[in-house]
Each structure stands twice: as structure tokens, then as C-alpha cells.
Structure 1
Amino acid sequence: MEVAIVAFDDFTDIDVFLPWDILNRVNHPEWNVQIYGTKETHSSVTGLTVPIHSSIDELRNADAILFASGPGTRRLYKDENYLKRLKINPSKQLVGSMCSGALILGALGLLDGMTATTYPTAKKELQKFNVTVVEESFIVEKNIATAAGCLAAQYLVGWIIERLISKKVGEAVINSIQPVGKGLSFTK
């Protein structure tokens, strides 16, 4: 099972690194997580450079595809050449996005007539693609899921694991990252 995380220049760090970490906690012999892009490395919005394992031209071979977010999405969803390279089939693949990564799904027509979520700063842009945009952390319609807010990555990743392997494995992996105790407190 191939899981693709799509990165690009000016991606939001946590939207690549958090799913990368969580997805790589899956212990399954056929599980493979790769970062896809358009060149050998891509740099995040904070300047971290990551190596790319595979080209976006190979996305058609992935079982699940997750698009990161970040300022780079604003360029890419308007780039016809980039969009033409994305061979995605949501009838056979799971497709997900974090925050403004939904703009790429919208530009591809994958969200047409659907309900989706995105980061509030991308809401108006996403609505231009005939999408009902709601302010929720996670939305699933068939084989397409959108998440909003960086920490919603756990829902998106849990959905991918559950759909490709099992609910039991998904719950175990997500439980491995949850805060210990009853709640968050920033004082003693």
C-alpha cells in the first residue's frame, strides 16, 4: 500500500511532517509512505528542505494521496501544467488535503458540488470551485477527505489507515500520539 504525501515549495511544515510521522508508525509489511513532488527537494515555508522520493507524475500508482498546505498552494492551484501532471482517480484512490491543499483538489474538479473544509484564509478561494465550505476540522465524502487546522492531520491520517488497513490499526496509531492524561494545562 503506497501512501503519497504531496509537498511543494512553501509547504506548511507540520502538514508534511506530522502526517509523515504518524503514517510511519504503521507496522505493516506492505505499508510504504513516500513524499512526492516536482523536483529532488522542496523547501517549507520556514526553510526546511525535504528530499522527494517520487515525482507527482507517479501519483496514479498510490493508494492514498495527501496534499499538504501552505502558501505554495496559491501558486499551484492556478498552474495548469502542474494540475495536468496530477493523475488522480478518487474512485480507486483515497484523496485527502490539509487546509489550503483543498484548493488543489478544487482546481482539479474533485470537490465540485461537495462539502469540504479548509483553513479560513482559503475559504473564499475554495468556494469558487462550486464547493460548500464549512468550518469543521474534518469532512469525508466517499473517497475524498479534507481537514482544516494543522492538528486535524490526525483525523485525515487515521481515516487513511482505517480505510487501507483496519479501524483497530488506525486507533492504535492515533492513540500513540494522543496527550497523556485528562486534558491540557499550561500551568502547574
Structure 2
Amino acid sequence: MRIAILTFDGFNELDSFIALGLLNRLKADGWKAEIASPSSHVTSMNGVVVEAQQTLEFANEADAVIFGSGIYTRAIAENSALLDRLQLDPLRQLIAAQCSGTLLLARLGLLADMPACTDLTTKPWVVQAGVRVVDAPFHAKGPIATAGGCLASQYLAAWMMAKRAGFETAASALHYAAPVGEKDEYVERLLKVVRPFIDEPAG
């Protein structure tokens, strides 16, 4: 599983880095999540400069794609030259978005009539794009998932792992990262959120 975490200037560190760290817990199983950006370096909303591991076009060949959020997402959503570089295929790929990244999914026509999650700031823009926003941290239908709230990145990672590697493998990876003293409860709560959206888990 090769995963592109789409990361643009003004990105939210929690979105990109939490998903990156959790998904790469499955390296031994052949998983590799990488930061994919439209330029060689991107600067986060708090001034952290990151060197891209992959180009934006890597998303087109990846097995899964995550759209992170950021303070400039609305401008990115209006940048057709940038979005035209993305040719995603939900028949082959898992595609997920967090917070304002949901707006990009809407602009790319990937949400169709499914409800979606986003953050409170982005909600009016997503609604304006014709998408029904639900008051929930996570929602998925088939190969498309959305999450709302910075720390909801853990749900996107958990969903991808459970959907492609099975719940047992996902639980093991999440258990390592979970807080000491509450690991079992933490993992159980995470998987409880994504389980209803996985029809036929692997493994």
C-alpha cells in the first residue's frame, strides 16, 4: 500500500503528520505513506517547512490518498490548474479528506451525493459546494472517507488500515501509538467509530 498524503502550503501539521506516523506503523506489511506536495517544499500554518517526499502527481498512482487541510485550502479549491494535476480513481484507490480537505474532494467531484465531515470553519464552503455536512468526526461510503477536527486524522488512518489490512492488524498498529494506561480502551473507541463504515474488512 502506497499512500499519498496531500500537503499544501499552510497545511495543518496534525492532519498530515498524525496520519503519516500511524500509517507507517505498517511498514513491515509493505505500507508506505509519504508527503506529496505541488512544490519541493511546503510551509505549515505554524511555519514548519517540510520537504516533499513525492510530487502531487504521485497521488494519481498511489493506492490511497489523504487530503489534509490548511489555511489556504479555499484558494487551492479555486486553482483549477493545480487540481487538474490530480486524476484520482475511486474504483482503484481509497480516498480520504480531513477538514478543509473535504472542500477539495467536493471540487473534484468525488463526493457525489454522499454526506461528509469537515471542520466548522470550512462547513459553509462545503455546503455551498452542494455537499451535506454531518455533525460527526468521521463518515465513509465505499472507498471515500471524510473526517472533521484536527485529531480526527486518527480515524482516517484507522479506517484505511482496517479496510485494507483488517481490524486485527489495525488494532496492533494503533495500540503501539495509544496512550499508556488506556491502550485497549483507546483502540476500541477508535475502531468503534470506523467499523460501521467497513462492509467487508480484510483478514
Same fold (TM over 0.5): yes
Alpha-carbon displacement from aligned partner over 1:86-145 (angstroms, at most 9, x marks no partner): 111111100001111101001001112110000011111001222110110000011000
TM-score by length of 2: 0.86
Letter of the aligned partner of 2:87 in structure 1?
A: K
Hey, what does 1:3 align to over in structure 2?
3
2:34, 2:54 within 8 Å by CA — same for their partners in 1?
A: yes
Question: Secondary structure, in 3 states, of the residue corresponding to 2:57?
Answer: helix
Q: Distance in 1 between matches of 2:91 and 2:151?
A: 27
1:120, 1:135 within 8 Å by CA — same for their partners in 2?
A: no
2:4, 2:58 within 8 Å by CA — same for their partners in 1?
A: no
Hey, what does 2:197 align to over in structure 1?
none
Q: Which has the higher helix share?
A: 2
CA gap 1:181/1:123 in 2 versus in 1, 3 angstroms: same
Give 1:27 shift: 3.6
Q: Distance in 2 between matches of 1:77 and 1:174?
A: 32
Hey, what does 2:32 align to over in structure 1?
32
Hey, what does 1:21 align to over in structure 2?
21
TM-score by length of 1: 0.92
2:12, 2:70 within 8 Å by CA — same for their partners in 1?
A: yes
Aligned residues with identical type, % of pairs: 34
Shifted more, 82-91 versus 161-170: the winner is 161-170
Q: Distance in 2 between matches of 1:113 and 1:104?
A: 15
Question: Secondary structure, in 3 states, of the residue corresponding to 1:25?
Answer: helix
2:10, 2:72 within 8 Å by CA — same for their partners in 1?
A: yes
Hey, what does 1:174 align to over in structure 2?
174
What root-mean-square deviation, in Å, do the aligned CA atoms of Structure 1 and Structure 2 show?
A: 1.4
Number of residue pairs aligned between Structure 1 and Structure 2: 183
Structure 2, unaligned stretches of length 5 or more? Answer: 186-203
Hey, what does 1:50 align to over in structure 2?
50
Q: How does 1:108-127 map to 2 (within 5 A)?
A: 108-127=108-127
Structure 1, unaligned stretches of length 5 or more? Answer: 184-188
